[in-house]
Amino acid sequence: MPKKITGIGASSGISVAEIYLFEKEKIDVKNTKISDVKKEIKLVKDAIVKTSKNISILKEKSIKKIGADKAAIFEAHNQILNDPEMENQINEKINNEKINGLKAINDIFNNAKAIFESMDDEYFKERAADVEDVKYHLMCTFLGKQLPNLLSINKEVIIVANDLTPSETALLDKKYIKGFATNIGGRTSHAAIMARTLEIPAVLGLKNITSLVKNAKKIAIDGSKGIVEISPNESSWNKLIQHQIEMNKKFDECKSKKAQTIDGHSIHIVANIGKSKDIDNIKKYGAEGVGLFRSEFLYMDNSNWPTEEEQYEHYKYVLSKNPNNLVVVRTLDIGGDKNLDYFNFPKEENPFLGYRAIRLCLDKKDIFKTQLRALARASIHGKLAIMFPMIATVDEFIEAKKITLKCFEEVKKAGHKVSDNIQIGMMIEIPGAAVLADQFAKHVDFFSIGTNDLIQYSLAVDRMSENVSYLYQPLNPSILRLIELTILGAKKYGKWVGMCGEVAGDWQNVPLLLGLGYKGLDELSMSASSIPKVKYVINKIKKEDCIELANNAVLCENQNQVAKLLEKFFAKNKINIE
Ligand code: PEP
Ligand code: MG
């Protein structure tokens, strides 16, 4: 009997395949005492050396399968494993408490894991999974056990597991792994991010899927809807798969097409990037430039404030790889959930409403100016636009712009060339700024709407909280009205408006984004892989219909009513993507 279960759709795509139940042996850690401390410490040392070698072998294998970038996880694992502090602590524990090596490894790694878990920063929180992963590997080696080997899979399967660790996901071979379904995890868990990167369908958070599949042979998975079906009705799933194959072909064709509606209205479709190297990958998805370069990653990946020279190299790289299209670099957006190892943020009750982004830059002008000088020097290598994050008041924008222009002059005086065409704009992430957009518009060259924060601040909903996630409503009419106000304000002074929050990359929002404020947005910036679907929708609709839809949507009472309008719109336009 087929059995359908719903979990969290973490990576889109549909497939049906045999079940590969991936269950890891639980390691029983006993508190037994030892008498030969030296021998125990040597056993731990040998296990560390052997595990480190294994990790290096896995790294080599995964470089071949998934590329050096993704395989970097193994480098990080070897750093954790070979941290002398960890080894010292294990040895001390064996020495002082005369406990066996396995228990000492377990306790010290658990302590390290707890420290990472307690950190506010999402990046460090995620490192807890890596510590757990390395611990399991080391304990298996210590006990002489073989690690379960996902690399040995050589037929098409869907993996069903409690969870997949970072190193396990790095070993998944797309040729054979047609999807995975896990008991735990959510959209932002490591397994989810990896699934999207590898473009493998995944449904997570299915609670007890590992026990439910015990007597079954096959499973079907729909990663967009978050559904799995055990012992599925294959003919109906095969129809869905066929539809998906046809749609994928159409999306691929869109990559090289212009984003233009049936009635001839064009819009710029550009990419969000986090690291300068990301620029190498955006063209293949059809991006016409960069709408958001999150420069904070340059700072977060460093052990100290990046120098002007270091930053210059990164900006130059991105601009010169893309010299004919606009590259919008956002100045340092740090604070809130994004911390730096080398800077002590003041303790605040509400860091998201506190000392962050442009507020920090206007306070620490040296840091701000270092970035601006690097940008000014890089500007001659392409078409640069600079935007400031989290602008709340017109005065803030005017001050930030004044400092920027002064930096340009200083850089010129120092003998460098600076482009005369650098655009200076701001993000609209704070509702107050959206409401006052017509005043801001007098001073800016452009706006880019950051919906991730705009929704958070408008509906007073922490964008990371699972408890109130039901309030995180991108299509709430209040959000649509703020977008509309921003567009109307900008157009009054002939300025362009883009959007770089997640709302821009969801194909279902496209008709609204093209119609709001009559003119709609001029640019949509998103993860490069979302571009083909968004272009597909644009190519199939009429601007005038979008305007009518948006005019009705802003008059709705709630998100559900807006979603219904969209559903009707897609049905009428015969757009059936998923
Ligand atoms: C946003 O807030 O929408 C945005 C693009 O910025 P970030 O997600 O980096 O805060
Ligand atoms: Mg933001």
Q: Which tens digit of pLDDT belongs to each residue from 470-511?
A: 999 999 999 999 999 999 999 999 999 999 999 999 999 999
Burial of 89 (0-12, 13-18, 19+ CB in 10 A): middle
The residue nearest atom 4 of ligand 1, judged by CA position, is: 450
Q: Which atom of ligand 1 is nearest to the CA of 336?
A: 10
500 within ligand 1 shell (Cβ under 6 A):
yes
Q: Which atom of ligand 1 is nearest to the CA of 448?
A: 5
Identify the DSSP state of 491: H
451 within ligand 1 shell (Cβ under 6 A):
yes
Output 439-444 pairs: Cβ under 8 A, ≥24 positions apart. 439/394, 439/489, 440/391, 440/394, 440/397, 440/489, 441/489, 441/490, 441/492, 441/493, 441/495, 442/493, 443/394, 443/397, 443/398, 443/401, 444/397, 444/490, 444/495
Greatest alpha-carbon pair distance for the chain in Å reads 83
498 within ligand 1 shell (Cβ under 6 A):
no
- The distance of Cα 61 from the centroid of its chain, to the nearest Å, equals 25
What is the token pair recorded at 13? 């795509």
Ligand 1 mutation pick, 270, 429, 449, max ligand atoms within 8 A of CB: 429
Determine how many CB atoms are found less than 10 A away from the CB of residue 351. Answer: 17
* Cα 324 from Cα 313, distance rounded (Å): 18
The catalytic residues are 190, 500
Residue 51: helix, strand or coil by DSSP?
Answer: helix
pLDDT of residue 120: 67
Q: What tens digit of pLDDT does each residue of 100-146 get?
A: 999 999 999 999 999 988 876 666 777 888 899 899 999 999 999 88
Residue 10: helix, strand or coil by DSSP?
Answer: strand
> Can you count the helices (H) and strands (E) in the chain?
23, 16
Instruction: Find the mean pLDDT for residues 450-460.
Output: 96
Q: For residue 194, what pLDDT band results from cuts at 50, 70 and 90? A: confident
* Cα 462 from Cα 58, distance rounded (Å): 38
Q: What tens digit of pLDDT does each residue of 356-415 get?
A: 999 999 999 999 999 999 999 999 999 999 999 999 999 999 999 999 999 999 999 999
CB of 534 within 8 A of CB of 513?
Answer: no
